[in-house]
Structure 1
Amino acid sequence: MPDPFDPTKLVITKAQAADRAAQELERDRAARTAQRHQRAQPVPASLIAALTGEPLSRAERQVARVYANAWYLALRRWSTREVKLIGSFHYDDRDPTPDLLLFGNARPLPTVYLATPAGEFDEANVGRLITDMTRSGLTETILLGRMLERLRRDDNGCMAELLRPDMRWHQHRERAIRYAVAVLTLAVKLGVQEAESPLQRVKTELAALAG
């Protein structure tokens, strides 16, 4: 009958118990590490998009940046075209023959159009919108309006472009994004629907930067 108090067996049994304890400790440590890793995983972009409605893909962010930069360049250049209208045709439905109605003494009536990525807009109307922004009751809108005023005057303090050649923001990133918000806000006020989504995306970037 084996001696239960055999010193050799006692040493072996003790070593086996220590091994089991070490294995249990390692398994417990691995489980805790896995839990921490799981908690540290970023929220999937698809889930964020579903919750916020903001697509977060790199390509979509770049599209928004490029679109904002196009508006920035257009407003910085402030390229205009003058159209002189001599008169207008007016006709009555009952009379198919058009009558030419002259304004005053038929002097040309100039209308100046501003070129933008969304087409041409009445320059006077664009100027009024910018002025209205500077007189807004909201501080943020006032600041955006003032940025647009500087851009319209082609102030020397304005950046040449908002983006670097690799489509990243200018080195003064926050300033570039704020200008992007300013020009796209103006675009939306002009009724350009395609500017709405890029505006929300650059606003999201600005909020992330500020936060």
Structure 2
Amino acid sequence: MSGRRFGRLPNWWSRSANGDDFLLMSLKSNDTGTGIAAMKCLLALSVLIDFHSRIAEVSLSGMEELTGLSRPMVIRGLARLEELGVVVSDKDYRTNRYELTIKSNDSYWAKVPVDTVRKRLKTISNRGIAPFTALKLYITILNLRYKDKTTVQVMHDTLRNYTGIQTNQVRHGLDVLYSSALLHLMPREDRATNEYQILGL
């Protein structure tokens, strides 16, 4: 068990000027493998970083173990995050160092459940559109959570708009998150929005 209940995921990239989520819109369904690797690496780093410096010291083997990715896919996922300016790496140390970036005018961040992600991230498959969609949805729901709440109320259309996924893919992605015990659908009388509990927060 980790000493911290939640990690810190800086999320300036979810608030671009045109209303799109810069990071998630940049990860395309024609390369799901790289997209899955990038999102798994991002979530892994968010539970590994020092809370204040936003830096994690972790080996490639450590990233493989946490994400369930092969070493080449860890390298590819981290490279994509660096390409997008979300991660800065320093390989001059014995163990690689990775910093999650912030913007000078936007230092907001999302809570990520440490123990849940450590245990469950690797259970999500590294191939296919459903896992790709699931990771986009999970990161979006983490970003939409407000203050100390552990649940998020949101419509499918909103999730689609943030992530760029097709409407008919939302349910399949959510099913992956339910089966991986990362998310729970709360019962609601009002069917206009769904309410999701982020497990582990």
Larger Rg: 1
TM-score range, shorter chain: under 0.3
More helix by share: 1
Which structure has more relative contact order (CA 8 Å, sep 6+)? It is 2
More strand by share: 2
TM-score by length of 1: 0.25
TM-score by length of 2: 0.25
